[in-house]
Amino acid sequence: MTGSLPPLTLVIGGARSGKSAFAEGLVTGSGRARRYIATANAWDDEMRARIAQHRRDRGEAWLTVEAPLDVPAALAVASPDEVVLVDCATLWLTNHLLAEHDLVAEGDALIKALGLSNAPVVIVSNEVGGGIVPENALARRFRDEQGRLNQRLAAKAALVVTVIAGLPLVLKGQLP
């Protein structure tokens, strides 16, 4: 995949669908400098190991910025010669939900920052609404808020790709 990316691309899919690898391929194929905005928190040894593996898989050519909460600030410093990968909106939303932040205000700030970014942005998000209705209120709230955020991101993005079993399906726009 080579070519010019639109200002915003959304790559969405289920857990272990291949969405992050696909998004990384889009960014690498752009030929630009690569900025990775990581939203994960390393809460335990298993998550620390996952984060370390992701870093090894990406290699040295990426500038990694840890931004579990303040993605807008991390986007604000991206330069026009870069392409930015935000991985992922789901963990970012989870961090704000657990911190009991105003999710509408945080979503507004993210959408605004994406529109103001000097660099094209590829943002990864999980599709979480395809399963059963969660049994507890926090999980139901998360599912609902993630669905709302994904809709907002998809509306703003010029390119939306879902990834299922490692296979991309374009929902909106055209691949470069």
Q: What is the pLDDT of residues 78-131, one digit of tens each?
A: 999 999 999 999 999 999 999 999 999 999 999 999 999 999 999 999 999 888
* Count of Cβ atoms closer than 10 Å to residue 92 Cβ: 26
Q: What pLDDT digit, counting tens, does each position of 25-66 carry?
A: 999 999 999 999 999 988 889 988 988 888 888 888 999 999
- Which strands form 8-13's sheet, in the order they lie side by side? 62-66, 33-38, 82-87, 121-126, 8-13, 159-164, 167-172
3-state secondary structure of 129: coil
- Are 171 and 156 a contacting pair, CB within 8 Å? no
* Residues classed as catalytic: 54
pTM of the complete model: 0.94
Domains along the sequence of the chain with CATH: 8-172 (3.40.50.300)
